[in-house]
A and B are shown apart, each in its own frame.
Chain A
Amino acid sequence: MKLQHNLGGLEGLGPVVFQKRVFVQAWEERIFGIHVAMMALSNHLDKAIPQYPIKQVPTTFKDFWTWGHLRMGAEGMNPFDYFRLRYYEKWLGGISGFFVEKGYITAEELDAQTALYLASGNLANAPLPAGGNAAIDTQVVRYLREGDSPKGAYAGTAKFEPGMKVKVKNVPPIDHTRLPGHLRGKVGTIDSVYPDAYGYFFPTSDGIGSPMPVYLVSFDPQDLWGAEKSEPNSIYYDDLFEVYLEAV
């Protein structure tokens, strides 16, 4: 069991830090931009809905990288580190590790380059390399404009209809899931069926991947947390893939 899959309802955390900024350090913007570029240059995009001509884009990036990969890395972290590290610190660790693991860079050159910037004592004035093929940037901006819709063809019909009670399955999540842990085994009501079927970037061991119906499911907080631990006059909704649900 992973704490990252089971955040909902965790107690004893104290007040929320109401930090409204998106980035709190300048370097965080850089790792965000790198992650977006990786998603925009991912080798699966020739099969995405806009059918990007990804093989013709003159980048040396030849891997599959999506939100699913970033999330799976974060879910695989030591849970204490997950809480200890700030959001983009997790990204920096996960993304650097990916590039080393896949052989784009070596740990030694990353350490050496880091030391170079640290030794200069003046990060702001240490220049980044310039140049590169502009067609890479064209693809990155095109990806931002056109996206990577998970919509896909599904031959079957939706199993459940609005108003039906459903039980959330307790499938083992293993490495990655889109089923919040606090819903496992709970009973909810189908509010609506989304008009399109949605896939996921890659198959997970708990059953998502190929396009399937997705439901908006409502839950009575008392059924999730018990009467004492829940607040009155409230409804909790979650979007759930069909494979996570069974008839009651």
Chain B
Amino acid sequence: MSSYDHFSYDTDREVYSAARARALEALLIKKGVITGSTVDKVLEYFKTEMGPFNGAKIVARAWVDPAFKAKLLDDANAAIAEMDFPAGMSGAEGEHMKVAENTAAVHNVIVCTLCSCYPWTTLGLPPYWFKDPTFRARVVREPRAVLQEFGVTLDPAVQVKVWDSSAQIRWFVLPERPAGTEGMTEAKLSTLVTPEAMMGVAKVKVA
């Protein structure tokens, strides 16, 4: 086994962390810092209102509506505000967003080498691989090699653009619409879009 294996810990360590987190939450409730339902409310918000299901709808709209796509690439927050979403699309970690468009000639991938900056309102919370120091360290120098590991093989003629968010802008990728989806409705198209495609480490596939 590799000495750097994140996901197989001894049980004691997990049980201790679970008890510690619960102890902290219990004390914070008891001391009036938060309430007995604060954490549940936060988690519910990301399950029901802000998640990658929003980004998928934005991508599908951009595929079917060229005027919307142009606006999205020019001013993402303004374009997203025109869609029918719950209030808060420019809320926490979505205040200032930018979109990079994949084409036949350009493939984009996002990263945050200093931490884990991510557009919460459109993509939800970042998956573990995105927060992994190995991904963050490697994708800036060898994006093609990393993409290959993720199952995306790019033609040498395709230019790779890596977007590192070190300041206040949160990036996401507008993936290419796959062939064979010409007759699909916008709603159907949105079901094809994965978080990984909106981060640039996967292509959208027809199921």
Distance, CA A59 to CA B159, complexed state (A): 51
Beta-carbon contacts of A86-115 to B below 8 Å, as 1s and 0s?
110100100110010000110001100111
Residues A146 and B113 in contact in the complex (CB < 8 Å), given A18-B150, A105-B31, A237-B163: no
Residues A224 and B141 in contact in the complex (CB < 8 Å), given A92-B21, A239-B165: yes
Distance, CA A116 to CA B126, complexed state (A): 32
Residues A27 and B18 in contact in the complex (CB < 8 Å), given A5-B114, A22-B126, A86-B6: yes
Distance, CA A131 to CA B35, complexed state (A): 6
Chain A residues with Cβ under 8 A from B158's Cβ? 233
Chain B residues with Cβ under 8 A from A129's Cβ? 26, 29-30, 36
Q: Are A25 and B18 within 8 A (Cβ)?
A: yes
Chain B residues with Cβ under 8 A from A26's Cβ? 18
Residues A231 and B41 in contact in the complex (CB < 8 Å), given A22-B126, A110-B24: no
Q: Are B145 and A231 within 8 A (Cβ)?
A: yes
Distance, CA A87 to CA B28, complexed state (A): 22
For residue B159, give the distance in angstroms from its CB to the closest CB of chain A: 5
Q: Are A136 and B23 within 8 A (Cβ)?
A: no
Residues A144 and B88 in contact in the complex (CB < 8 Å), given A129-B29, A129-B36: yes
For residue B155, give the distance in angstroms from its CB to the closest CB of chain A: 10
Question: Considering only CB atoms, which chain A residue lies closest to B124 in the complex?
Answer: A22
Give the contacting residue for B92; candidates A10, A19, A83, A143; CB below 8 A. Answer: A143
For residue B137, give the distance in angstroms from its CB to the closest CB of chain A: 4
Chain A residues with Cβ under 8 A from B169's Cβ? 194, 214, 216, 239
Distance, CA A236 to CA B143, complexed state (A): 10
Distance, CA A240 to CA B18, complexed state (A): 38
Task: Give the residue among B22, B40, B132, B143 with the most A Cβ atoms within 10 A.
Answer: B22
Q: Are B19 and A123 within 8 A (Cβ)?
A: yes
Query: Interface size (B, Cβ < 8 Å)?
Result: 90
Q: Are B164 and A7 within 8 A (Cβ)?
A: no
Asked if B73 CB lies within 8 Å of chain A CBs, one says no
Q: Are A133 and B162 within 8 A (Cβ)?
A: no
Q: Are A8 and B136 within 8 A (Cβ)?
A: yes
Q: Are A148 and B34 within 8 A (Cβ)?
A: no
Query: Interface size (A, Cβ < 8 Å)?
Result: 106
Asked if B87 CB lies within 8 Å of chain A CBs, one says yes
For residue B147, give the distance in angstroms from its CB to the closest CB of chain A: 10
Asked if A234 CB lies within 8 Å of chain B CBs, one says yes
Chain B residues with Cβ under 8 A from A19's Cβ? 6-7, 127-129, 132
Q: Are A87 and B128 within 8 A (Cβ)?
A: yes
Which A residues from 53 to 107 make CB contacts under 8 A with B? 58-61, 67, 71, 74, 82-83, 86-87, 89, 92, 95-96, 99, 104-105
Give the contacting residue for B161; candidates A20, A60, A87, A237; CB below 8 A. Answer: A237
Q: Are B38 and A114 within 8 A (Cβ)?
A: no
Question: Considering only CB atoms, which chain B residue lies closest to A140 in the complex?
Answer: B38
Distance, CA A208 to CA B23, complexed state (A): 36
For residue A93, give the distance in angstroms from its CB to the closest CB of chain B: 9
Question: Considering only CB atoms, which chain A residue lies closest to B195 in the complex?
Answer: A20
For residue B192, give the distance in angstroms from its CB to the closest CB of chain A: 16
Give the contacting residue for B31; candidates A60, A83, A177; CB below 8 A. Answer: A60
Chain A residues with Cβ under 8 A from B32's Cβ? 58-60, 132-133
Asked if A206 CB lies within 8 Å of chain B CBs, one says no
Residues A37 and B34 in contact in the complex (CB < 8 Å), given A25-B17, A144-B42: yes
Question: Considering only CB atoms, which chain B residue lies closest to A221 in the complex?
Answer: B141
Which B residues from 113 to 167 make CB contacts under 8 A with A? 113-116, 124-129, 131-138, 140-146, 149-150, 156-167
Q: Are B133 and A144 within 8 A (Cβ)?
A: no
Distance, CA A144 to CA B124, complexed state (A): 12
> What are 21 pairs between A and B in contact, CB < 8 Å?
A13-B4, A13-B138, A17-B6, A22-B128, A32-B125, A34-B24, A71-B114, A87-B116, A95-B24, A105-B28, A114-B16, A136-B35, A137-B35, A140-B34, A141-B45, A143-B91, A147-B92, A180-B114, A182-B113, A231-B142, A237-B164
